[in-house]
Structure 1
Amino acid sequence: MTQLNRRRFLATAVAATTVRSLPPVAAALKTQPARRVLTLVYDKSLGAMRAIDRIVH
């Protein structure tokens, strides 16, 4: 098991909240044509790469 410190716990909680809230937001935006942009960034708090999925109008 990895070392779970405060920073990693908060990063994991924010990521889980984002994943849970994204489908309702995406459903609300379906009325307009939109593009999804996937960006990979290095997250220092996780010590790994992280994917950010954005909806662009």
Structure 2
Amino acid sequence: MTSIATEDEEVTVEVRDASPAHYLLKIESFSLLSESGIDKFESNEFVAAGYKW
């Protein structure tokens, strides 16, 4: 881990060999989906950490 500090702020950078253990899917306007009675959401196929999801 590397920290770079200036007078007013600090920036921390972390590099790792392991892939992240989780991913996030952000749904804009989730309340509109809920109000529309949509009970299932499927995304397009995507690749993360070398795996197709």
Query: What TM-score comes out, normalization by structure 1 length?
Result: 0.29
Per residue, is there more strand in 1 or in 2? 1
Structure 1 or 2, whichever has the larger Rg, is 2
Query: What TM-score comes out, normalization by structure 2 length?
Result: 0.30
Per residue, is there more helix in 1 or in 2? 1
